Amino acid sequence: MKIKILVVDDSAFMRKVITDMIESDHQMEVVGIGRNGEDAISKIRLLKPDVVTLDIEMPKMDGLTALRTIMSEMPLPVIMLSSLTKKGAEETLKALDLGAFDFITKPSSLIKVSAPEVKNELIEKIQIASRTKVKALKSPKTYPEATQREVPVQTSNSSTNNRFKKIVAIGTSTGGPRALQDVIPYIPGDISASIVIVQHMPPGFTKSLAERLDSMSQIHVKEAENGDIMKQGWAYLAPGDQHLKVTKQNGQFVIKLDNSDRVSGHRPSVDAMMESIVEMNHKNVIGVIMTGMGADGAQGMKKIKDSGGFVIAQDEESCIVFGMPKIAIKLDAVDKVVGLSNIANEIVKAMEV
């Protein structure tokens, strides 16, 4: 039985390119095309596809408006096609909030359109999306008050407190942007920890994600910069296409970014971040492995646990894709398996371990 896909894009050229990519895999077939959001909704009702690829910017009805209707009335896996712009990144994050399964970036040139990695990424995401149970869109969440923070904006020579009890290291991938919004805003602003996060995302999207998380959280969240001195009550998100590693200099924990080879198939890599922490022989670490496909982070979490740290994994029920946590659990790299809504509480509890 082939996976049935509906391709929605206002560009005839892009519809043809995406269709050809999909149908290069013999397990998939494009059962229809849509030219705008209205067309998408009617075609979904008629053709009942397994997965939809949906452009964000379209005439008549844009992708976000269509997605809201799809996820409310006929939920199914939707993969967004996003442009590599700040507006595109912000709209993509909104789409993930609304329940989109994942996104790929629209090729920006004819050369990139034919790049095999674009096709491989699309096919892999469609395959996994087709096996995912999608829930109807819920009412928007309310988050704790984030406006009472008194910590000044960090600068390179900030005197903000850089003495903290623990490092919290979080790794996630598919489903991560939405999942992080169920964790980071619930971490108390006075936590005696500094937090580092790897979310698999391309360049240009992580800054928007960090800003979004910062706006709704009690702690401060920023896209990490090379040389950042880690501070209590701050979270640092690895930039797209750069490894985030933690080093120690003059008694302070410092973030180093680099473009070295991919680790576990990724850059940034959760394993690369975790291993840099283990190499410092720092035992006061809480590792958190969350929703995502693949195995990145499992080996790093195992090293964290074996070196005396405490590891929390997201459970299968609350994961969009139970890949990364599953492998970590199989490796006996995890101390506690909990639902997404309990991860922040478990982090706070683990501060006392």
Total Cβ atoms within 10 A of residue 160: 15
**At which residue do the structure tokens 């290291």 appear?**
169
What's phi and psi for 299, nearest 5 deg? -65, -40
Torsion angle of alpha carbons 93, 51, 264, 194, nearest 10°? 30
In Å, what is the CA distance from 141 to each residue of 97, 181, 182, 305? 10, 9, 9, 33
**At which residue do the structure tokens 């200099």 appear?**
249
Strands 220-223 and 234-237: parallel
Query: Burial, 301: exposed, middle or buried (Cβ in 10 Å; 0-12, 13-18, 19+)?
Result: buried
Total Cβ atoms within 10 A of residue 197: 30
Q: Are 267 and 259 in contact (CB under 8 A)?
A: yes
* Residue among 237, 229, 169 at smallest CA distance from 200: 237
CA 220 to chain centre: 18
CA 111 to chain centre: 27
Tokens of 221: 């969240």
**Ordered alpha helix ranges (H), 85-157:** 86-97, 110-113, 116-130
Q: If you ran DSSP here, which 8-state letter would residue 287 be given?
A: E
Torsion angle of alpha carbons 14, 20, 25, 28, nearest 10°? 70
Question: Which contiguous run of DSSP H or E holds residue 164?
Answer: none
Within a 13 Å sphere around the CA of 75, how many CA atoms are in the beta-carbon half?
13
Residues taking part in catalysis: 173, 200, 296
Q: Are 311 and 346 in contact (CB under 8 A)?
A: no
Torsion angle of alpha carbons 19, 20, 22, 23, nearest 10°? 110
